[in-house]
Amino acid sequence: MTTTPGLAVRLPLGALSGLLAGFAALAVAELVAAAVRPAAGPITAVGGAAIDRTPTPVKDWAIRHFGENDKTVLQLGILAALVVLAVVLGLVALRFRRVGAAGVLIFGLVGAGAAVSRPDASGWTDALPSVVGAVAGAGLLYRLTGRLTLPPRAAAAPPGPDRAAGWDRRGFVVTASAAAVTSAGVGLLGRYLAGHSSQAAVASREAVRLPAPASPAPPLPAGVQLDVPGLSPFTTSNRAFYRVDTALVVPKVNARAWRLRIHGKGVARPLTVTFEDLLRRELIERYITLTCVSNEVGGPYVGNARWLGAPLSDLLREAGVRPPSRGGPADQLVARSVDGMTLGTPVEDVMDGRDAMLAVGMNGQPLPFTHGFPVRMVVPGLYGYVSACKWIEDIELTTFADFEPYWVKRTWAREAPVKTQSRIDTPKPLSRSRAGTVTVAGVAWAQHRGIERVQVRIDDGPWQEAELAAEASIDTWRQWSFPWRATPGSHTITARATERGGRVQTQKRTGTVPDGASGRPSVVVTVE
């Protein structure tokens, strides 16, 4: 007579026990997180810690290959790892129940450690979701695997319908089903509560009425937009605007509760402003093109929007800040976001008269949550990672010597003005065209310096002038187009821009690290 079921039954049941325990642990953790702080949940915390510890080349590669899906890929990866882990612990628990359960607790501690060490952690309570979840998961695993081996006395009893194979089949099925149903319910409740807590933020965004700017954007000149199919529109819609950030869960900030503090070295009068305060100020509206330092030559991480915001230099002056050129002691402005990101911007740049702003509007709308609602920084001429802090809540005046922001700690340059770049939007790489006139068109940017010329070259031929669209301002990109008399064969089209003052976009190719990609865009096409 067997006292335990055969391996063919035990192994799958052990794995199932592990999976159920993992599911219960996560569900309970999410519920507790909804009460404590949604971002303190284990998946978000471990994911965030993983993002911060990912080496720069891998992160850059992930941004380039998965683009805006990079975070979904990471979360799926974490989930897959947890599934494997749960199965392994379930199998271990078949033989060593205590060890399996202890394993669940240890991983709970890893989650708790990740949660309390997040830069936006609110304290030891951030450990609660992982700890409580792990206790629930460990307890369940212990119980479930207990049902798979009967105590000697029970096993010796005459086999009945429920213990024919020497294990408490009914007990297992009842416990497992109850656990599955309860976990699903607990998980859904957690989701609901977390969603509910972001309702206030959503409502605060819906209630925003953007005021008219004291200084509206100058009307766009006629001819700023060329009529070429496949060419990027002059203004990028909010929906189409690229998104690059480290936030696994988009922060949902309640504008009514939002505050921005301005303080630090040389700040004679530290300030705290509310969202209402900002809206009451004299706002400016400007078209500004934003670019990511991770954008490869020809890449998609660039967009142009009409931003509405409060001039940053006015606020800094009210706080008593002087730029270094006027003897101010701080040369670096460190912006902090609600999710703990830090970005460092030269104080000189934001006070030199350019339209650096605390933006509240994007293309006539309050900022979308993904683009930093309620307030973000925008500084013309600098890559996003040294200027464009989303979900901003704190500005500290300091020095480059005293503080290294997030990306600078990860091998990116301290200072990063945007490099002059051009992009060929049409024809697409490896496309086929008919011989005759083919319109080559794209965009070119050199924010805060301006574009004065774009040229196109076919194969090794001479550089030929492209037609430039009208210039909205030196802070925006410019469209360009070139009527190419295409002849049959395979051809390489290359473009280069010249910034105001005559400096030509370099042909020297560099990668994105440490201060942005250089080189000229080219596409290969076939003409029939």
Ligand X SMILES: Nc1nc2c(c(=O)[nH]1)N[C@H]1C(S)=C(S)[C@@H](COP(=O)(O)O)O[C@H]1N2
Which tokens hold the place of 419?
Answer: 């490099």
Q: What's CA 68's distance to the chain center, in Å?
A: 8
**Nearer residue to ligand X within complex by CB, 59 or 97:** 59
Between the alpha carbon of residue 401 and those of residues 19, 331, 513, the distances in Å are 49, 9, 21
Q: Which is nearer to ligand X, 281 or 390 (CB)?
A: 390
292 binds ligand X (CB under 6 A): yes
Minimum gap (Å) between residue 68 Cβ and ligand X: 9
Q: Residue 390 binds which one of Mo ion, ligand X, none, with CB within 5 to 8 A depending on kind?
A: ligand X
* Torsion on CA atoms 123, 129, 131, 133, rounded to nearest 10: 180
Quote the CA–CA distance of 380 and 448 in Å, as a whole number: 6
Among Mo ion, ligand X, none, the one that 449 touches (CB under a kind-dependent 5 to 8 A) is none
Residue nearest to ligand X (CB): 384
When the beta carbons of 150 and 341 are compared against Mo ion, the nearer one is 341
Instruction: Identify which of residues 116 and 389 has a Cβ nearer to ligand X in the complex.
Output: 389
Member of 97, 147, 390, 520 binding ligand X (CB under 6 A)? 390
3-state secondary structure of 414: coil
CA of 20: how far to CAs of 150, 178, 327, 457, in Å?
Answer: 20, 10, 64, 62
- Nearest approach, Cβ of 389 to ligand X (angstroms)? 5
SS3 state of residue 114: helix
Closest CA to 225 of 472, 499, 409: 472
CA distance 137 to 101: 8
Stretch of 31-39, 200-208, 315-323, 381-389 contacting ligand X, by CB under 6 A: 381-389
Q: What is the DSSP letter of 385?
A: G
Stretch in the footprint of Mo ion (CB under 5 A) among 41-49, 123-131, 244-252, 354-362: 244-252
Among 131, 176, 147, residue whose Cα is nearest residue 19: 176
Q: Which residue has the tokens 């830090």?
A: 342
State in angstroms the smallest separation of the CB of 300 from Mo ion: 12
The reply to whether 244 sits near ligand X by the rule CB under 6 A is yes
When binding is defined by CB under 5 A, the residue of 111, 187, 361, 384 that contacts Mo ion is 384
How near is the Cβ of 418 to Mo ion at its closest, in Å? 11
The answer to whether 385 contacts Mo ion (rule: CB under 5 A) is: yes
Assess 244 for contact with Mo ion (CB under 5 A): yes
Residue 316 CB-half CA count within 13 A: 31
* CB of 369 or CB of 482, closer to ligand X: 369
Any contact of residue 245 with ligand X (CB under 6 A)? yes
Q: Which of residues 272-331 bind Mo ion (CB under 5 A)?
A: 292-293
Single residue of 142, 242, 307, 484 touching ligand X by CB under 6 A: 242
Q: Does 242 bind Mo ion (CB under 5 A)?
A: no
The rounded Cα 242 to chain-centroid distance in angstroms is: 10
Decide: 141 and 104 in contact? Cβ < 8 Å. yes
> Rule CB under 6 A: which residues touch ligand X?
241-246, 290, 292, 337, 339, 341, 371, 384-385, 388-391
